[in-house]
Chain A
Amino acid sequence: MDLTFTKEEEEFRRRLRTWLRETLPKLPAKPPPDQWPARRAYDCAWQRALYDAGYAGLHWPTDAGGQGATPTQHLIFLEETELAGAPYVGANFVGLLHAGPTIAVEGTAEQRARWLPPILRGEEVWCQGFSEPDAGSDLASLRTRAVRDSDAYIVTGSKIWTSHAEVADWCELLVRTDASAPRHRGISWLAMPMDAPGVTVRPLRTLAGSTEFAELFLDEVRIPLSHRVGAENDGWRVTMVTLSYERGTAFVGEVVACRRTLARLARTAKENGRWDDAVLRRRLGRLNAEFGALWRLTQWNVSAAERTSPGGGSAVPGVGGSVFKLRYSEARQELYEAAAEVIGPEALDAGHPWTADRLSALSYTIAAGTSQIQQNIIAERILGLPKGR
């Protein structure tokens, strides 16, 4: 066991820090969260800056256009960018963390050449068409169907809770290609252009008042067969590759962000006198323990990935991500409950910056697999308990 960094890793950290110090002051102000076209432009410009500096797709394999960095270097990157207050991945989330890595692992040479470079350069934005009104956590029950018509699939159905759909160029879409097969076996993974005829996007308003996600209606959308990643009816396995990324590494930067927020919360409490409340003080102390432990768990998982894939890049995080996601999503909500205690009645002001965060944190125990689903995964796949009904 070792928590120290090699000379190369320290050098990587130093170079990154220098670049961030020079680059961040030149960035324009971030547009407000409800202005999605402006947000998209901002997020893509940041991605382009990363690309030009050689930090795009850091953890992607080199043959997919990435930097082939080790998981530890990726961890350092996420830690340093967050500490420096660099922009969050934002609209590029699905491309960089879901669709891109999936295409890198499962796609053909042509597919990789077509889709990966624009993601890395911040030119094309992806969204995720997985969930349906009747298939949320029970993803395998999805019903959007694709019927073959010579060289294309004709897709009809609907998707829901699709983040960034309004500004996306592509959608990683799960469709049913064989209705008679067992439900996990008849699914395929398609790349759908968002401007294809028959695609309608209807924005949904979240409980936080924002319009960051949407409903998709697909009416006989024609998608070429060449847009299918992986074999026909093998989409479930391809999807598991994607989801294990989502649960493995997607929240690393956010743990650092939560630790920073917690420290700010403590200083605020000290200033406004709430610090004198021992009960609240002890809550903040326990949250410090929780987020510190989650950071250690992250380091543990990253090191485990590094061991299974010494060359870095293509390491696919395992079900261990469920352990992290379950506790992290709750701790993040507890953090903003504590924040509300610290700021008192101002927590009822929707304009207070922590109020928006408090509201958006409510999605964390639901998105990317609810806490209940994570517990099923841990119980059945890690602890080996008999399958429930």
Chain B
Amino acid sequence: MEFQLNDDQRALRTGTRQLLAALFPRERLRAMVDAGGPGGAGGPGGAGRPGGAAVDGASVRELWRELGAAGFFSLRLPEERGGTGLGLPETVLVFEEAGRVLLPGPLVATHLAAGLVEGAAEGRALVTALDRPGPVEHLASADAVLLLDRATLRILRTDPGPDPDPDGDACTAVLPRALRARSVRAVDPTTPLHLVSQLPDDAGAVPGELPDAVRLRREAALLTAALQLGSALRTVEMTVAHVKARSQFGRPVGSFQAVQHLCARMFVRAEIARCSVYAASLTVTFGDVSRAKLLADTAAVRNARDCLQLHGGFGFTWDADVHPHLKRAWVRAAQWQSAAEAEEGLAEELLNEFPAGLSTGPGEVVANVEISSE
């Protein structure tokens, strides 16, 4: 057991951090935040485009092409299919870095769609996803939607034309007619949202050679947790930098014990989430993934709240980067697995697996679930 990053993983993390610093510097995030803010197209005085916030298809598409060229979506595709052939642990490290810089767009869905939806691996197709009625991001500009309805995977397309995907799809349908969705002005200025009230029925779904939806949902929850983890670690850094620099009563506020203790708690929260996310990337068991999502959601939301508190009045302004972290953390916490679902599932696990489940062997085999068909 060597539960530490190896040299390749450290190098990957450093490389990703450098890449994202160049590709998505703070100014680019701010431009998107400001476009979605007061006076921006998505703000109260703005044009109120469908889909809510002002991050339009064009800006995300441009980003997608750049990320695709950098291999972001094809990380886990085998090399003979144009990918890098990396595993989930490495992917988690890359997503953690994406979470640090608040990279916008349906990152998790497009990554999962690589190899399933033509163009996703290269960043030419923008793919979003949903697994139940509720919020779905970037729906208006998406080319396809992964619909992970319990054990069923379906792919809804905006363009029902001939299917060029050599692997075959289970089902295609035309968007947005297939989904009953209502656009809302999203609280996160960089994440346009629709609220879906009802999933389309699966009439017309045909069986195909697709990975099972249970596995994909677990991976989606894990990668979302990795994004939350990155955000939680970043808000600790932002806070520590601020309380070292900001002086009150003639001393840096970071020397006040009340401030120190909040910072320490932020750090502990993030560290506990980090170990959970990394462990889940190795085992991909239901329990580990649920723990990772629950604790990473908590860390991202609570740390952003404490970051805001410790920035004082500065933190409550639009110009500070605190609110994009908090608002994005709220969105992600509502995706894939809510706190209630995770807690209920983990309570059930106590009855089922212990004490046998205490032992930390290799990950359980995820049951193969049949793709539903007519």
Contacts and interface: CB of A to CB of B under 8 A. Distances in A.
B206 interface: no
A375 B288 CA distance: 27
A326 B261 CA distance: 11
Specify the main secondary structure of chain B where it touches its partner: helix
B123 to A, nearest CB: 27
Contact of B260 (A259, A327, A379): A379
A289 B279 contact: no
- The bracket for how many chain A residues form the interface is 35 or more
Interface stretch (B45-53, B249-257, B311-319): B249-257
A348 interface: no
B328 to A, nearest CB: 22
- The bracket for how many chain B residues form the interface is 35 or more
Contacts of A281: 343-344, 347
A375 B261 contact: yes
B22 interface: no
Given A266-B347, A384-B240, A2 B2 contact: yes
Contact of B351 (A266, A286, A292, A323): A266
Contacts of B288: 292
Contacts, number: 190
A289 B4 contact: no
B346 A286 contact: yes
A304 interface: yes
Given A294-B272, A323-B267, A376-B260, A300 B346 contact: no
A388 B346 CA distance: 40
A257 to B, nearest CB: 11
Contacts of B369: none
A383 B240 contact: yes
Contact of B360 (A3, A288, A300, A382): A3
A288 B346 contact: yes
Closest 4 CB pairs of A and B: A285-B343, A263-B354, A379-B260, A285-B347
Interface of A: 1-6, 9, 72, 75, 79, 83, 256, 259-260, 262-263, 265-267, 270, 278, 281-286, 288-290, 292-297, 299-300, 302-304, 306-307, 323, 326-327, 372, 374-376, 378-380, 382-389
22 contacts: A1-B3, A1-B278, A256-B358, A262-B350, A263-B355, A281-B343, A281-B347, A288-B347, A289-B290, A292-B291, A299-B1, A299-B275, A300-B3, A323-B268, A375-B261, A376-B257, A376-B261, A380-B260, A383-B263, A385-B254, A385-B255, A386-B252
